[in-house]
Amino acid sequence: MAQDQSNPIVAKSATTSASLSSRGIVLLGVFGKDSAPGALLRVPGGRIEKVGVGSRVGSHRVVAIDDSRVALSQGGRAEWLTLPGSR
C-alpha cells in the first residue's frame, strides 16, 4: 500500500524550521495525555530519548511536561526546555 502525501497546507502548518543546538539537551516534541505526558529529547551525542515525568536524562530528572516545554531538575535547580522555534 502506498503512503499518501500530506496535504501541503497541513504539512506547512505542522512544520517549523529552527536551528538545533549541537550541545546540551534539546526538546524535539511532546505527546500523550495530560494524565501521562511524554516528550522526545535529543541528548548530547545525538541520541533520541523518550521520557516521562520522573525519567532521568543524564544527571537531570524530568519534573514536568506541558504543551510545549519540559522542566528538568538538577541539584535542586530546575530549567525549562522549550520547543525550538517557539517562544
Q: How far apart are CA 48 and CA 51, in angstroms?
A: 10
Do 25 and 10 contact (CB within 8 A), yes or no? no
Is the residue at 16 inside a domain?
no
Is the residue at 58 inside a domain?
yes
Please count the structural domains in the chain.
1
Is the residue at 14 inside a domain?
no
Please write the tens of the pLDDT for every residue from 30-70.
Answer: 999 989 999 999 999 899 999 999 999 999 999 999 999 99
Q: Is pLDDT above 60 for 29?
A: yes
Q: How confident is the model at residue 1 (pLDDT cuts 50, 70, 90)?
A: very low
Is the residue at 27 inside a domain?
yes
Q: Is pLDDT above 80 for 23?
A: no
Q: Is pLDDT above 70 for 6?
A: no
Q: How far apart are CA 58 and CA 76, in angstroms?
A: 15
Domain span at 63:
21-82
Other Cβ atoms closer than 10 A to 68: 14
All three cell numbers of 62: 524530568
Cell 499518501 locates to 4
Question: What CATH number corresponds to the domain at position 59?
Answer: 2.30.30.830
